[in-house]
Amino acid sequence: MQVSRDASNQLAIDPNATERLSSLARSNPKEAIRQVASQFEAILLNQMMASMRSNGFDGEEDSSELGTYRGMLDQQMVNAMVQGGGTGLADMLARQIEGVARIDQAATPAASSGMLPLPALPAAAAKAIRKYAEAAGTATAAPAPVAIPSERQAFVSTLLPHAGQAAERLGVAPELLVGHAALESGWGSRSIRHPDGRESYNLFGIKAGGSWRGESVATLTTEYVDGKARKQVESFRSYPSLQAAFDDYAKLLEGSSRYQRALNQGDNAQGFAVALQQGGYATDPAYARKLAGVAQSLLAH
């Protein structure tokens, strides 16, 4: 099956995909079915790749540049697989939808699908297209905000006063920074501590590179070498207080060309999250969705 290569390249990065697919479906429903099938296959491959990468992952290496390049390589591999013919899943899905369409057209040639006003496309096919088109078009969209459990309210209440100054420097709502800290630290459950039990206040998983002149703490983390996960000791920045942690985080984003698009996003949780992921803060393909979901939940309360 020949599928438009543009469609697969737009997967998970273009929120306008649904609108384009709907437009194509009105003029060429058969091609729309095939493009959606191809995108669904790519979504599945991306999820499989992310699952493989996350085996043993504890979230602490998200800031490494090596992880950034691994994420880029994974995306290229998925695109190459889809454009090269894929695994055959897209072919089977397209044939199944097209087969249902032919059967329904023969039985009720005047029927209309609620989504696509074409008699050749039955409700069953339209439902499948709607489901997978929405999955493709909203792959980077944040999930609906959810209620914050009471045990996490203390975490939020503690951090919000410290996030204000850093948020003002970055031009974003303080809830976005607290949301990022919550995601990176597991709502405080993955605290990095010194051997003597002292807190490092490293809420954002920032490593102590060669330019770091402050105190550091060594801890066990997961790194990927030649595609294989392994545990190794890494050095992380340590701060004297929560305020110092937020100040250094703001300094990191302000001073890096990689994260300039994350600045001045106001309360746009989605824009902030996507900019961080595109800048290489994390390699998890769903990282922007997770971060935006947490941040939007905080903004809603």
Tokens at 281, concatenated: 């803060």
Choose, from 61, 62, 184, 248, the residue flagged as catalytic.
Answer: 248
Confirm whether 199 is a catalytic residue.
no
Phi first, then psi, for residue 139 (nearest 5°) are -60, -30
Confirm whether 248 is a catalytic residue.
yes
Q: Which residues contact 161 (CB under 8 A, 6 or more apart)?
A: none
Distance CA 188, CA 239 (A): 15
In this structure, are residues 271 and 265 in contact, taking their beta carbons and an 8 Å threshold?
yes
Choose, from 223, 234, 254, 267, the residue flagged as catalytic.
Answer: 223
Phi first, then psi, for residue 64 (nearest 5°) are -70, 140
Phi first, then psi, for residue 73 (nearest 5°) are -65, -40
Q: Which residues contact 128 (CB under 8 A, 6 or more apart)?
A: 36, 93, 97
Place of tokens 């984003």: 253
> 3-state class of 266 per DSSP?
strand
In this structure, are residues 295 and 273 in contact, taking their beta carbons and an 8 Å threshold?
yes
In this structure, are residues 272 and 265 in contact, taking their beta carbons and an 8 Å threshold?
yes
Return the active site residues.
Answer: 223, 248
